[in-house]
Copies of this chain bind each other. A is one copy, B any other.
Amino acid sequence: MSQTRGDVWSPVIMPFGADLAPDARGFVSHCRWLASHGVGLAVFGTNSEANSMTVAEKQGLLAALVEGGIDPARLMPGTGHCAIGDSVTLTREALAVGCDGVLMLPPFYYKGVSDEGLFRYYSEVIERVGDSRLQVYLYHIPPVAQVPLSLELIERLRNAFPGTIAGIKDSGGDWSHTQALIERFGGGDFAVYAGSERFLLDTLRAGGAGCISATANVNPGAIAGLGANWQAEDADTRQRSLNTVRDLFERFPLIPAMKAATAHFSGAPGWRRVRPPLVELDEERTGELVSALEEIGFRMEGLEEASHG
């Protein structure tokens, strides 16, 4: 996986057809548009509704991306499932199409599980995959998975699998935790990514790698711009400007709102669809979102052309 300080990744939102089947063509187009703005593709993340898709659907989409000309070095697929067998299958598939970095959720059904149990889960997956190219990025997202990854667990995994445990995405929303991760593990061969661009500048200044953020789906150029220019004089101004957009989207349910914005700016209304248990943004709320975006002059540059290209 190609990785540099200041990296920005998007957990790519997923277009579905009227029958809720994945729209592979729309997905590839959106990935191309994101890549053209310098954003890496953390496909099959929380914001991708990945857990609402079957393993077979995700395998098909990986193949479509690579066939569609997406550079596998710019992909970081989410491959963690509750069942070890599923995590192994999708991780192997990712390696087979040329990715090496994967973002791996812990098994998220049982709650209050021990570090020992989580260590065994990750160990089993890594050993069964058995491929020295594999780079595992751990996925810490307690607000959703409800299964946190402790510092002790990370330490133990790094010691057991040096060269394989490559980093972490911290979607806990608590800057002091991201800071603790960077202080203890950051720099060198362990990449700490903030789970929101709200912490991008702080993360980079503290020695972290960048961010993997939902709203990089809708505001990729500006976020990647800060990632590339975090040492520039205008970095704080850029960060404030990113926060304005993030604040606006956070006034709505995030996934439906990003999809509604993408539908609006691409001219492809199907983008509004989500899979249950999520619900799309209704017309009234969509109107509010679009007005608010227009008020701050927000656009998704080149999206319409990309969608019809």
**Residues on A close to B: CB < 8 A?**
20, 46, 51-57, 82-86, 89, 106-111, 113-114, 116-118, 120-121, 123-124, 143-147, 275-279
Closest 5 CB pairs of A and B: A117-B277, A121-B276, A120-B276, A51-B109, A113-B277
Decide yes or no: A53 and B85 within 8 Å by CB, A111-B144, A143-B111, A144-B111 being known contacts: yes
Instruction: Give the CA-CA distance A107 to B123 in the complex, in Å.
Output: 26
Cross-interface CB contact of A57 among B85, B144, B278, cutoff 8 Å: B85
Residue of B nearest to A108 (CB): B109
Instruction: Give the CA-CA distance A157 to B84 in the complex, in Å.
Output: 33
Instruction: Give the CA-CA distance A106 to B278 in the complex, in Å.
Output: 12
Cross-interface CB contact of A82 among B51, B56, B121, B124, cutoff 8 Å: B51
Q: B121–A84 contact, CB under 8 A?
A: no
25 contacts between A and B (CB under 8 A): A20-B124, A52-B109, A53-B83, A53-B85, A54-B55, A54-B86, A54-B89, A57-B83, A84-B275, A108-B108, A108-B109, A109-B144, A111-B144, A111-B146, A117-B276, A117-B277, A118-B276, A118-B277, A120-B277, A120-B279, A121-B276, A123-B276, A124-B276, A146-B146, A147-B277
Instruction: Give the CA-CA distance A18 to B121 in the complex, in Å.
Output: 15
Contacts of A123 in B (CB 8 A): 276
Contacts of A275 in B (CB 8 A): 84
Contacts of A51 in B (CB 8 A): 82-83, 107, 109-110
Q: A85–B54 contact, CB under 8 A?
A: yes
